[in-house]
Homo-oligomer: A and B are copies of this chain.
Amino acid sequence: MGEDATPQVSSRATELAEAAMAGDRGALARLLTAVENRTPLAEAALRRLYPVAGKAHLVGITGPPGSGKSTLVAALIGVVRAAGRAVAVVAVDPSSPITGGALLGDRVRMQSYAGDQAVFIRSMASRGHAGGLASTTTTAAAVLDAAGFDLVLIETVGTGQSEVEVAAAADTTVVLEAPEMGDEVQAIKAGLLEVADLVVVNKGDKPGALRTAAQLRAMLVPTVARTPTDRPTPKRPEVMVTTASTGEGVPELLAALDRHRATGRAAESGGARRTRAEAQVWAILGERLRASLVAPERAGTTEAVLEDVAAHRLDPYAAADRLLRELTAG
């Protein structure tokens, strides 16, 4: 299982990888497109880039619509650049690759840093990945890491499970909240807060911001998790207040990110890096498995088994076991 790329693809991948590491932004953009489309080129390039990656600080930034993520990311870019560091943004875009319409915000932000080699902003579509969003985003972050960015911000709309998983795959996860959100959003927030290393109440100039921050601090008293999760350790994320539109609190946010990197989950062995490695390897294993089940020599059997499940003649567990026997037999 696991076909090798053709020599042509391999040599093109090496060429693009070398160019991206040497600062060629066009090559970098082409590699990210390959990652997004999951082409063999992406795999070949990642094999070259992955050993060089591992130096950047990966920061997930997530929050419900209207919490001001884009504005905060723009303000954070400014502060990071003022500190002389290079920063890349992967914005997971909830809009559709089919019906078009990327979020306009990114284009506007990109323009204001046009010509600055140390800033790179990239939107990734979130649809049509069939569960592979976290894997694709993590791979994109590794490419940007290898290309030499000190900080890679991964921005997602934190209202769905996949989007939260994407943010949680970072070394440090920032969850944004806006003052006074509605009831349904409150419920979403509860799920989001679980993955937070830092909670930021943005729109600090709005009435209720300080009260929201105080409520969150009260809510985030460390408790032992009641259900099994990947992170059983009780933790109490810091709650900060920012006003991204004026920049207030943003330098403090960068300082908190740096502190977390030095001392938090990002620094733990068996922490964020281990979790991320595991998720990536499982995702690739799943793809390999699927590819070998639909390969010409097994496609007929696989198809017959799936048809039996669709018709309820066979239960999906029995089907999975039958397919596994096919794989290990051949």
Contacts and interface: CB of A to CB of B under 8 A. Distances in A.
B310 A274 contact: yes
A225 B127 CA distance: 13
A94 B188 contact: yes
A274 B54 CA distance: 41
A43 interface: yes
A98 to B, nearest CB: 5
A16 to B, nearest CB: 16
A301 interface: no
A118 interface: no
Contacts of A128: 227-229
A187 B225 CA distance: 35
A65 interface: yes
A157 B188 contact: yes
A103 B2 CA distance: 44
Given A182-B65, A286-B286, A289-B286, A95 B306 contact: no
Interface stretch (A45-53, A72-80, A172-180, A246-254): A45-53
Contact of A281 (B46, B93, B96, B316): B316
A37 to B, nearest CB: 9
B99 A190 contact: yes
Interface stretch (A27-35, A129-137, A201-209, A237-245): A129-137
A153 to B, nearest CB: 18
Contacts of A14: none
Nearest to A219: B99
B315 A96 contact: no
A317 B43 contact: yes
A15 interface: no
A25 interface: no
Contacts of A225: 98
A161 B163 contact: yes
Interface centre among A161, A277, A320 (most CB of B within 10 A): A161
A274 B307 contact: yes
Interface stretch (A82-90, A108-116, A259-267, A321-329): A321-329
Contact of A47 (B229, B288, B317): B317
Contacts of A127: 161, 164, 191, 194
B159 A277 contact: no
Nearest to A229: B128
A7 interface: no
B281 A323 contact: yes
Given A94-B188, A127-B164, A131-B161, 14 more contacts: A46-B315, A47-B317, A50-B316, A94-B187, A95-B187, A96-B191, A99-B190, A101-B187, A127-B191, A131-B162, A159-B160, A274-B307, A281-B305, A281-B319
Task: List 9 tightest A-B contacts by C-beta distance, closest first.
Answer: A160-B160, A159-B159, A277-B309, A54-B312, A50-B315, A161-B162, A284-B320, A277-B310, A65-B184
